[in-house]
Amino acid sequence: MPDDSDEGRRLARRVLMLAPTPRDAAMAQSILAESGIESAVFDSFSRLSEAIEAGAGTLVLMEEFFASDDARGLLEILARQPAWSSLPLIVFSSGRPGLSQVGPILRSLPSVVLLERPVRIEPLVSAVRAALSAREKQYEIHRHLEELERSGEAIRRSEAKLRFLAELDAETRPLSEPSAITSLTARLLGEHLGVDRCAYAEVEGEDVFVITGNYLRDVPSIVGRWPVAAFGRECARQMLANEPYVVTDTDTDPRIGPDDLPAYRATTIRAVICVPLHKAGRFTAAMAVHQTTPRGWTPEEVELVQLVVSRVWESLERARAVRGLRESEQRYRTLAENVQQLFWTCLPDGRCDYLSRQWVDYTGILEEDQLGLAWLSLVIHPDDRERTLKVWMDAVQDRATYDVNYRIRGADGGYRWFKTRGTPIRGDSGTIVKWFGTCTDIDVQVKAEESLRESDRKKDEFLAMLAHELRNPLSAVGNAVQVVRRSQAPEHLEWAKDVIDKHVQSLTRMIDDLLDVSRITRGKIELKKETLDVLPVLGDAVETVRPLIDDRGHDLTIAHSSHPMWVSADPQRLEQVVVNLLNNAAKYTEAGGKITLSARPDAGSVAITVADNGSGIPPEKIPEMFQLFAQGDRSIARTEGGLGIGLTLVKNLVEMHGGSVTARSDGVGKGSEFTVRLPAVGAPRAERPAKAAGGVERPQTGARVLVVDDNEDSARGLVRLLTMLGHDVEAALDGPSAIEAALRHRPEFVLLDIGLPGMDGYEVAERLRAEGFTDATIIDVSGYGEEAARKRSRDAGFNHHLVKPVDYDRLVALIRREH
């Protein structure tokens, strides 16, 4: 059990993981570290058990562990926990049938959260935070209980001393204010001894008296701060030595020198008893009695002053302990009233006799109305009542721990999941005298598990759909290749070329969509906004989708205002939004259908609408249309596919622009309508000149080109294509070979892949620049298309960045332009 030091608190917040495979460990530890959660990974149960004894916030285990011999050891450790402790467990479940025997073990444990593998980041972090929060409350309650016990013990010791000094304490016992105790004690002692002054002082730093209690009889008060040495070095020495300082006559006492007399005369002291009180070896307090005339003190008087100074100290300690106990009780009461758990107690026969304020506040029903077994019918979910009653009655009959999850209705009428655990409290004879239990809100965890299962289901559906969507174009390309192998007829070659080009573009768009969704999810997309008229963007989008629309024989109508409609947008991303919507309309509308693309001003916004008379959307599916992996299977016999990410991409991109997107459909077979709304802005001061239309022409003279790619087919293919255009082309398949070929061939253009064996493309580019290829145009031909990859290319000396699969016409135009 960790102590209350900073280190002890740190250990109590640790996440301990037993991970037999480095992958699981590394994954979980990395996720937790990114969320600021400390974790420790152990490869053996023996090391884990030692760490648990040192202190733990929660344990993360694999389901397979509970089928091992070490599981018994863990159960023994958990069984030895004190009553206040319930160490939370988070178990990564594989769901494999071979591990079904561990189910009863997990259900027998009080605090277990199951996370199915592969574990998602958000549910894992959420479960760990909830477990650590619950564990911290356990430790805090434990600390307060210990504090109450310590305070109670101090009070009991103080009261024992007070009983011993009953006659002396008769008047001071009721007092709780320190100033009242010291003042009354000084008066009682002063009057009893018949002295002129009696004072009580506490000590700061062993060299300063702080006088707080003061009894006077025709003498000035000395309440305040006084240096101990002000009354002579001998007085200070005896105080520090824990010896009474007794003076009969200050004028004749040889221990008082001429330099000390002014202090005594200023305070009218001629005779004095000053008794120190030492605690834990330190000078802590003192009690003094003064006489304005010489006086011979008796040993009994000195002893009485010693007794009284101890009494004052003990009385003050008692008062402080009482105050501390009250403050501690108030803190405990506040804590108990603010924890999330609901508390209850029951009689030995199972009838409820107490419900905590939290239970009453949550349910909104008076406590007395829920006692007995009335709570079952009043607040437990109807589907859970029979099961809950059976488990409860079985526990009462078997005198065993009660552990069950059920839903409790709140005052708002809604139900939340709670984990309920009851423990029998036994008397000295071993019979049950009471049941004590708690209900812990686990609604978030339960819903997180449900969400995880739903995410897994959607993930599986998506992977199946991805395999389907990849096989379709690959099958078409494969068929085209077979046609080329078997026939050189021009019409066959033309058909094969069109098929391959069409499906390569389809696969490229599919990969780009996947990457875009990933980038948006990770916040990696940056919009390059400009003030633009939406109409040219709509025209570009139509041209992009036109082949699909024409291929399916659709009638496309475009309707828009005759005036420019200005928005602040990234033109490439806005075109991507419209292309996605038009693609969907084309795919989900039967051949020969009608599609309308319209744009209009709309109450401070620009509304872009794509409508079709296609298969439509069931009303219950509309809220799900923009969710990731929500497949738009709007007709049972559809022939056009999709990954279910296009509309998610649309929604995210539109929202990044500060806009919104909505879907509408009257039902299956009645078409659908998607509307994007973007905030309208004012026209720019000067319109940008229109882009000049570009064409691709064959270069007049060939260039020296070096192609570097570890994929030999890709490299040889580019060599063939560029050679056909009259260029002088060589190829290299790794980094070192690229350097050698460059030095031999002296290329004007280098088409350079990044992922190369020997040395990567960045290093090759840097080496080429260092070797004097300062005028060569180095083009990054890579599968990495994100902005970070483009920046790194520029930093390494690349002139251009092209993403695979390379747009052949663009590459040819680039070489011609710069040659």
Q: How far apart are CA 390 and CA 397, in angstroms?
A: 10
Q: Between the CA of residue 500 and those of 381, 465, 475, 543, 544, what are the distances in Å?
A: 59, 21, 10, 20, 17
Beta bridge partners of 355: 344
User: Which residues touch 373 (CB under 8 Å, ≥6 apart)?
Assistant: 350, 351, 352, 389
Beta bridge partners of 596: 557, 611
Q: Which CATH class is domain 339-436?
A: alpha beta
- Predicted confidence at residue 531, as pLDDT, reads 94
Q: Count Cβ atoms within 10 A of the Cβ of residue 398 and give its class: 0-12 exposed, 13-18 middle, 19 or more buried.
A: exposed
**CATH no., domain 174-323:** 3.30.450.40
Architecture field, domain 527-630+641-679: 2-Layer Sandwich (3.30)
Residue 491 sits at the vertex; the CA angle it makes with 487 and 494, to the nearest 5 degrees, is 95
- CATH superfamily, domain 6-145, is Response regulator (3.40.50.2300)
What is the model's pTM? Answer: 0.38
User: Which residues touch 164 (CB under 8 Å, ≥6 apart)?
Assistant: none
DSSP letter assigned to residue 693: P
Give residue 755's region: left, alpha or beta (phi > 0; psi -120 to 50). beta
What is the mean pLDDT for each group of 10 consecutive residues in the chain (819 residues)?
A: 63 81 75 87 88 88 85 88 87 68 76 84 89 87 80 63 61 79 86 89 85 85 87 90 94 91 91 92 91 90 87 83 69 59 91 91 94 94 95 93 95 95 88 91 91 79 65 72 82 83 76 71 77 92 88 92 90 90 91 94 94 90 75 41 69 92 92 95 66 39 89 84 90 92 93 88 92 92 77 89 82 88
Radius of gyration of the chain (CA): 43
The tokens of 682 are what? 């004012």
Query: What order of strands is seen across the sheet that includes strand 672-679?
Result: 555-560, 594-602, 605-612, 672-679, 660-664
Domain boundaries for CATH 3.40.50.2300 within the chain: 6-145, 704-818
Residue 731 sits at the vertex; the CA angle it makes with 726 and 735, to the nearest 5 degrees, is 145
- Predicted confidence at residue 97, as pLDDT, reads 58
- Predicted confidence at residue 697, as pLDDT, reads 40
- Predicted confidence at residue 636, as pLDDT, reads 29
Helix and strand element counts for the chain (H, E): 25, 28
- Predicted confidence at residue 690, as pLDDT, reads 41
- Predicted confidence at residue 4, as pLDDT, reads 57
Buried/exposed code over 548-567 (b: 16+ C-beta within 10 A; e: otherwise) = bbeebebebeeebeeeebbb
Q: How far apart are CA 777 and CA 800, in angstroms?
A: 8
Domain boundaries for CATH 3.30.565.10 within the chain: 527-630+641-679
For residues 702 and 724, the answer to whether their CB atoms sit within 8 Å is no
| Alpha helix segments (H runs only) across 80-169 | 103-108, 121-164, 166-169
User: Which residues touch 354 (CB under 8 Å, ≥6 apart)?
Assistant: 343, 344, 345, 367
User: Which residues touch 380 (CB under 8 Å, ≥6 apart)?
Assistant: 388, 406, 407, 408, 409
Domain boundaries for CATH 3.30.450.20 within the chain: 339-436
- CATH superfamily, domain 704-818, is Response regulator (3.40.50.2300)
- Predicted confidence at residue 444, as pLDDT, reads 92
